Amino acid sequence: MEMRNSAPPSGLASLARARRALADALYPPQCPACAAPTGSALALCTPCWDKAGFGRPACRRCAMPLESELSGDDAECAACTARPPAFSRARAAMTYEGGRDMVLRFKHGERTDYTPAFAAWLNRAGAPLLADADLLVPVPLHRWRLLARRFNQSALLANALARLSGVASLPDALIRTRPTPSQGAMVSARARRRNVLAAFAVRPGAGAAVRGRRIVLIDDVMTTGATLEAATRALMRGGAADVRALVLARVVRAGEAPIF
């Protein structure tokens, strides 16, 4: 006969549940996008979930959503067929247009409490990239921008994702070799590429950790992919075997690039 553990839950577990129940009573869970009531903390309401674009078919190389619902996992957009990006594959958890307010609050409103939910979305969307990956590497900020902002949002995502996926995170694998103007101020893809040209390098001392590894680059937003391309090229120069890109949000509509 199957035996079941009928012992009462531990006092600590009961206390934790009581605290969560009290917190939910005092501060009812709200959708992080629109503040509508939800069933659990940091869960999106149904309209915001639908708007975010989760699970839409997308180009395997650049994560741009594709129109055809029949697109398979290996489908590529015309732009990537003509000019493949430096990274081998890319995934995005949602569209920037669908999650804009959340992304901006996370990045500039210091809503770092969004991190666990965002990491869970990245873990789901990036499962094919994470399955055989060796290392997570966040896109770094220049030290002066990091000092002003006090945190690197991409590093927060990478570290939280590491705990969920089991793939190790190395937040300081890359460094910014020079400060660059915000990409949001760049009008064209060519200007964005010039802006970050040779702006990244593998940190001295991190070469052994990067060499021969299958790396997943983590960033918050992909617009043209210029920043991810520049970071990818730095990792490849450092001996990485393969570099994929995983981002929280993908800009879809021209003219809707974030101004950071």
**Residue 175 falls inside a structural domain:** yes
Report mean pLDDT in 10-residue bins for the chain, 260 residues.
42 59 63 83 84 88 81 82 94 93 86 92 96 96 68 92 96 82 56 64 92 97 90 95 97 62
Count other C-beta atoms under 10 Å from residue 29's C-beta.
Answer: 15
Would residue 258 count as lying in a domain?
Answer: no
CB of 92 closer than 8 Å to CB of 63: yes
Regarding whether 30 and 156 lie in a shared domain, the answer is no
Give how many domains the chain has, as a whole number: 2
The predicted pLDDT at position 186 comes to 52
Residue 124: give the domain boundaries. 57-250
CA 156 to chain centre: 9
pLDDT reported for residue 2: 35
* pLDDT the model gives residue 196: 61
Q: Report the pLDDT value the prediction gives residue 7, as an integer from 0 to 100.
A: 42
Query: Which CB contacts under 8 angstroms, 24+ apart, belong to 52-56?
Result: 52/94, 52/95, 52/98, 52/99, 53/94, 53/95, 53/97, 53/98, 53/252, 54/93, 54/94, 54/121, 54/125, 56/95
* CATH number (domain holding residue 163): 3.40.50.2020
Q: Could you tell me if 106 and 216 lie in one domain?
A: yes
Contact between residue 99 and residue 114 where contact means Cβ atoms under 8 Å apart:
no
The pLDDT assigned to 22 comes to 58
Are 100 and 28 in a shared domain? no
Instruction: Assess if residue 1 is contained within a domain.
Output: no
Do 91 and 195 fall into the same domain? yes
The answer on 133 and 84 residing in a single domain is yes
Residue 181 is predicted with a pLDDT of 52
Give the pair of three-digit tokens for residue 134.
């060796």
What pLDDT, on a 0 to 100 scale, did the predictor assign at position 37? 86
Same domain, 99 and 219: yes
Q: Tell me what pLDDT residue 136 has.
A: 98
pTM passes above 0.75: yes
